[in-house]
Structure 1
Amino acid sequence: MFLTGTMRVNSKGHLEVGGCDTLDLAKEFGTPLYVMDEEQIRKNCAEYRDTFKEHYPNSQVAYAGKAFLTKAMCRLVDDEGLALDVVSGGEIHTALAAGFPAEKMLYHGNNKTPEEIEMALENGVGRFVVDSYSELELLNALAGEAGKVAGLYLRIKPGVEAHTHHYIQTGQVDSKFGMGLADGEAMTAVKMAAKMKHVELKGLHCHIGSQIFDLKPFQMAAAVMVDFMQEIKKKTGTVIGELDLGGGFGIRYTREDSPYSLSGFVELIAKTVKDKCAEHNYPLPKLLVEPGRSIIGEAGITLYTVGSVKEIPGVRKYVAVDGGMMDNLRPAMYEAKYEAVVANRMNDQAEEKVSIAGKACESGDMLIWDIELPKLQRGDLMAVLSTGAYHYSMANNYNRFPRPPVVFVKDGQADLVVARESYDDLVQNDIIPARMQAPAAKKAAN
């Protein structure tokens, strides 16, 4: 078992987060329930911000909103002085609704629609991270129609493969994201942008993948990107002033995970960029990074109530909880692994090996395989750790289960930041055509 942030075992033997007893949270808000440790999130934001300022003053940390984004999270990110990485019209709308400054948004995505681009232009989004020739042409045309000049980054595939799940590798040559170096795509895009009247090339961007523990790929990517900036300068005379190295920094999901220290990462990246720029006599660019998971991931837990317990003699013991792949899709999608604790009996010793099953009508709905826990019974409160990133973001209504609420906890106070969906919420957008009305409804209409 590992506890992070403000998590502790209180005098009642219960799991406590942000000064709030998890049993009280479950009683007030129900389960499943996402619980976010606000103090830890703010601490993580500040550590990124301050460590980069120490080692590379001309820097900006942009929180990757796809990991977890609500209006409250946008306010927190703005409070902490971070920029915001968004990837859709919905994320832009959420940020704007929270009062987040549009000029501090970086708009990503491999297939931005004309409507999304127009929305971003209209609201003054600061940077467009362009993913293809066709997007570059579309952005130039729409910016022209709007009478604006769009600031852009080109997303580059640096050809660096990170050792992580193949679904979340993005920096290698064969990726749906970005433009390649070896095949000349990226240089062609640079030259195209230079000829366009309604876009301005401000910087370059790369992202090599997610949940990465090895620092070497980040170092390699930084070196490759500075080399390419020098190549651009030589061939076109253009000096690129901003370099965004993306995110992908790993966190701890289980005791076997060994994340690197943030200070070690920052020192290495800063030194790599400085050394490479000195080698090329290239002016130091503004340096950006886009952490998401490593800011929010370990700060979140999910609370579940234990339901049925089913033992298959000589095979396995299944313990079912009141959530599953509807609120945590990652085990089914990535074979992701987690730790869990019995929140109402934290001091009890592990007695048996069980597998934690979700309640969806799907054989693959398993949250944790083979975990040692105290003997579980119906009504116990289970907390799955490190669920802050990509859990609420990927939550769904499979089997028509309502999505759980989200609470921020800090200094003994719990604030609801996303309300629990109701059954009525599930059907609010459903429409029954008049020809399919139930007989009673038809009779009443006549």
Structure 2
Amino acid sequence: MSTSAELLARYRQSLPSFVSPYYAEPISIDNGEGSWVWDLEGNRYLDCFGGVLTTMIGHNNPAVTAAVQKQAAKVMHTSTLYLSEPMIELAEKIAAQSGIPDARVFFTASGSEANDTAVLLATSYRKSNQFLAMRNSYHGKSFTTQAITSHASWSSTSLSGLQVTFVQGGYRLRSPFRDLDDEAYTAACVDDLVQLLDMTSAGDVAGLIAEPIQGVGGFATPPDGFFGAMQKELSNRGILFISDEVQTGWGRTGEHFWGYQAHDVVPDMLTFAKGVGNGITLAGIVARAEIMDTIDVLHFSTFGGNPLSAAAGIATLDQVLADDLQGNAKAMGDRFHGALQPIVDRTPWITELRGRGLMWAVELCHDGGIEPDRERTTQLLEACKTHGLLVGKGGLYGNVIRLAPMLNITADETDELIARFSNAIDDVGSLTT
């Protein structure tokens, strides 16, 4: 069996330079069980990132594993050119949960492809290439979704057939409106939206796409009701609202099944991916029938909704609902937040703790201000690994640590997370005192 060091050498010889693993000494995850994973050398880690919020209800989840094995023994792929009961059943379940009236579901293989489809639908429906997105946003790596991503470190090209305007959103720490209270902050962002539409749009704008909590952007969280206030202005102009639920869906935020539900709004479309298949490739888009049916030619995704992925999606969604994992996300998130906030308050280089449910982040800055501290962030990432804790890194300046435990994490595991993360913070503090 290869070692992690041997795999790293092969990794660098066979993959492009823009693909890069975490850590000074990258690890190879060999196997997992629930919230825990083991590397090739036998080291155990509490996984609080789940392959970027994708393994959502535990590694080697018995129900999902059994569903995949059962389906694999029958047929793994057919495509939408044939009737597939797993695909149809999953579409029915997601449509019922979506909150969107007269909903239709189109499956894709990735969140990028789902968001790409949302843009295709909006521009076709509205007959416009003008689009709105939020500052500090991330919506994927496809050519179309790069255009609606406002995150320089993830932007590979400026070329696009879209005319995109970026509006003020949920990243309050670096907003010119950051000193306002929630109500005033929302009002200022809506005023900014109105001015941009009045000054920069030429005719009809197709849509606004937004993450209820910005994922890659460091779990930036707007005030409740923010997007409801935005949509009032959008509706006045016929502009569609698309909720990118790739990271916020399936009860992740605790208080709601979808992130959009914190905002007194029902989107015209929503996109989903990542956790819905608990690690299996599965994504898609939900839209009102009149919007989905704007495409009047044959259109399908080769791997979208394949029977194997759909079986995993059904098993995952059923467990989320049956075990009230949304409620667990709320309870364990409150437990984590309550324990960590005092630690953050007494740590001068952690500027902010933000998020909700089981979606939390800390932003690291130099003492006394908001200048990003990338060096300490890397130190904290490494310290977490040393303490057997896997977390993510993100944020506009790479100075945010992201934590997204399994939705079925236990109270004991949550306490273990708190202890390990606290010890990592102490270690980094000792390096700079």
* Higher Cα radius of gyration: 1
**Larger helix fraction of residues:** 2
- The TM-score by the shorter chain falls in which range? 0.3 to 0.5
Give the structure-2-normalised TM-score. 0.33
Tell me the TM-score normalised to structure 1 length: 0.32
In terms of fraction of residues, the more strand-rich structure is 1
Query: Which structure ranks higher in relative contact order (CA pairs < 8 Å, sequence separation ≥ 6)?
Result: 2
